[in-house]
Structure 1
Amino acid sequence: MSSQKGTVLITGASRRLGLYNARRLLEAGYRVIATFRHHSSGIDELKQAGAVVLQSNLDETRSILNLIEQVKSITSDLRAIIHNASGWISDSDNPQDNEPLAHLFKLHMEAPWLINRSLYGLLKNYPETADIVHMTDYNALRGDEHYAAYAATKAGLESLTRSFARLYAPKVKVNAIAPYLIIMNDHDQLAAAENTLHIPPMGLEPGEDVIWQSLSYILHNPYVTGTTMPVDGGMSLR
């Protein structure tokens, strides 16, 4: 299987934003390698649409390294790597429990670190400019009193964005996208009804396409690297 537009590796593609963007990449003509932790109907859909799907636990070093070798065996070059895999885990009430931080560090920082460094050769083999895109979060630099480990590791990922952008220019552009609330869960809807959810100036729940538009912009603009693009409805104005 080949594609004129090249091969894109996207992590965490079993649901929500990852699944939506994997669909859109396929529709746009890219060859897609999609990773998932837990199987879903969305993964079956991607496979039927032509994606290569790989199960990987990106909070385990051995699984990350195995994924890297699998990707190397599938393709000789990469147009882009999109780090979408993420975990939303609150801090523990036990002050000596470091499990949330250890888990999220591996998922948000170690996995991108190892994948970017190990697959740089495939990005370099792509005949045109290649891309790395990190999905971070509005709270990465703002912090969160209940999700400090989450915010800290997403902030670390934003720092890696700038470091890898310096390291890999001009062959590979490295950018981040920092969303606020894109799709509401039930608890978000309840919080909105109770007026306990921060509402951005542009309103709530824009839908997945705003992330695809941002991703597409990054992939098609040859002069943007080392940036974090906020997609937060104006929350950064508050």
Structure 2
Amino acid sequence: MIKEKTALVTGASRGLGEAIAKRLASEGANIAAVYAGNADKAQAVCDFCQENYGVKARAYQCDVADFAAAKELVSRVREDFEGFQILVNNAGITRDGLILCMKEEDFDAVVDTNLKGAFNMIRHASGLFLRQREGAIVNVSSVTGLMGNPGQANYAASKAGLIGLTKTVAKELAAKGIRCNAVAPGFIATDMTRDQKENPMVQMIPMGRMGRPQDVADAVSYLLNAPYVTGEVLRVDGGIGM
């Protein structure tokens, strides 16, 4: 269903974004891999997609928290790929700390990247999707946005905000044939969560283990291939959010 379409994936140089980009490429989608700082890793993801799946893949540097930069990114990808039909908002950062000592700049940085970055991308891509009368958006939220987590007030707020953004965009654009869903990963084994392996909450996962990036990529693929699903938040968390 996504074969020969183009997917713009933010935060695609590692972790969940890398797994998502590779999964979509395996289904025949062309990939616009967006990265913040590591050009070599982003290019490696593109090379893998092209060499293994024969799709077109290009890397783009962008700070998605920058409204103007996000607009320019959408314009470049639209020109290079003659449009795109899929947007996966995966870019995210953490700046953990207890609320009593969290710095204002740490709160702002996380919300700006995780939440405002997704808004920026949707804001600029939605016009293209409306003209195409086709588009599918998946936002990568977190089970932390549903449950909260000590030491992550900024991260939880940003990921909870993504859920509200997802549902609102889904309602606004559904009549135009554009769908918007979210995945809410739990504790997934990536570079970002390597410090969470000793978190007591990991021991509370009913399935008894952390997830894999591929588990999240599977969920994203499902949502992109499910034409009658919109406004959904799909947990990928081993049951911890039950």
Task: State the structure with bigger RCO (CA 8 A, min sep 6), 1 or 2.
Answer: 2
Per the TM alignment, residue 202 of structure 1 is displaced from its structure 2 partner at its CA by 1.0
RMSD of aligned residue pairs (Cα, Å)? 2.3
Asked whether the 8 Å contact 1:19–1:42 carries over to 2, the reply is no
1:87 aligns with one of 90, 93, 97:
93
- Structure 2 unaligned blocks of 5 or more: 51-55
Give the letter for the 2:236 counterpart: V
- Structure 1 unaligned blocks of 5 or more: none
1:113 aligns to 2:112 (yes or no): no
1:157 aligns to 2:165 (yes or no): no
Give the letter for the 2:103 counterpart: D
Residue 177 of structure 1 is matched in structure 2 by 183
Residue 188 of structure 1 is matched in structure 2 by 196
1:65-80 alignment, distance < 5 Å: 65-80=71-86
Task: Provide TM-score, normalisation by structure 1.
Answer: 0.87
Q: SS where residue 144 of structure 2 aligns?
A: coil
Paired with 1:210 and 1:95, the residues of 2 have a C-alpha distance of: 34
Q: SS where residue 152 of structure 1 aligns?
A: helix
Aligned residues: 231
Q: Which has the higher helix share?
A: 2
| Stretch of structure 1 that moved more, 176-185 or 70-79 | 70-79
1:124 aligns to 2:123 (yes or no): no
Give the letter for the 1:211 counterpart: V
Q: CA 1:27–1:162 in 2, change beyond 3 Å: closer, same or farther?
A: same
Paired with 1:51 and 1:161, the residues of 2 have a C-alpha distance of: 27
Give the letter for the 1:89 counterpart: R
Asked whether the 8 Å contact 1:92–1:100 carries over to 2, the reply is no
1:133 aligns to 2:138 (yes or no): yes
Q: SS where residue 145 of structure 1 aligns?
A: coil
Render the CA deviation track for 1:113-172: whole Å, top value 9, x for unaligned.
122122113223446x42100000001022223110110011111100000000110311
Paired with 1:96 and 1:213, the residues of 2 have a C-alpha distance of: 35
Paired with 2:143 and 2:3, the residues of 1 have a C-alpha distance of: 34
Q: SS where residue 223 of structure 2 aligns?
A: helix
